[in-house]
């Protein structure tokens, strides 16, 4: 009897493990985010307002890439401004207001425009870029 119970329990566990989690299972447990590859090795995660317009973008290095894990510190600095120009062209940023720099061991530079602030967090390589629209509220 004990052997039959143990066997059926093991069979249940193996069946559950073999089936894995589905997209529906994950959606029940976790908030879903869309992620876009803007250039090889760099991903952008947007947030949307209630109308479906992008209200914020976070850009960072992709750490898991095909057949390897990249644990370097961030985006190559030469790529940062071309990526920003691609995601939010000058014509969409509005009037340039000012730029703030804050540095301790990691630097944060914020370029203020009338429509968006663009924040670049770096410490050697760029670690994160955040673009947030002023006139759109994220949910």
Distance (Å, whole) CA 11 – CA 14: 5
User: In a 3-state reduction of DSSP, which class is residue 74?
Assistant: coil
Distance (Å, whole) CA 50 – CA 81: 29
User: In a 3-state reduction of DSSP, which class is residue 114?
Assistant: coil
Amino acid 120: pLDDT: 93
pLDDT tens for the chain, residues 1 to 139: 566 555 565 555 555 555 678 888 888 888 888 899 998 889 999 999 999 999 999 999 886 666 666 566 678 778 899 999 999 999 999 999 999 899 888 889 999 999 999 999 987 766 899 999 998 888 6
DSSP 28-74: HHS-----EEEETTEEEEEEE-TTS-EEEEEEEE-SEETTEE--SSS
Q: Taking the domains of the chain in order of start, what are their residue ranges?
A: 30-132
């Amino acid at each position: 009897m004990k052997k039959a119970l143990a066997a059926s329990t093991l069979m249940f566990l193996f069946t559950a493990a073999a089936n894995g989690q589905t997209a529906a299972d994950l959606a029940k447990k976790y908030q879903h985010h869309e992620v876009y590859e803007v250039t090889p090795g760099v991903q952008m995660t947007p947030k949307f307002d209630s109308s479906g317009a992008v209200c914020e973008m976070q850009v960072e290095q992709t750490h898991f890439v095909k057949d390897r894990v990249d644990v370097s510190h961030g985006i190559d600095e030469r790529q940062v401004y071309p990526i920003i120009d691609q995601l939010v062209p000058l014509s969409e940023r509005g009037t340039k207001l000012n730029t703030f720099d804050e540095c301790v061991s990691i630097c944060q530079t914020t370029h203020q425009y009338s429509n968006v602030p663009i924040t670049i967090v770096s410490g050697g390589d760029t670690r994160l870029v955040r673009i947030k629209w002023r006139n759109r509220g994220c949910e």
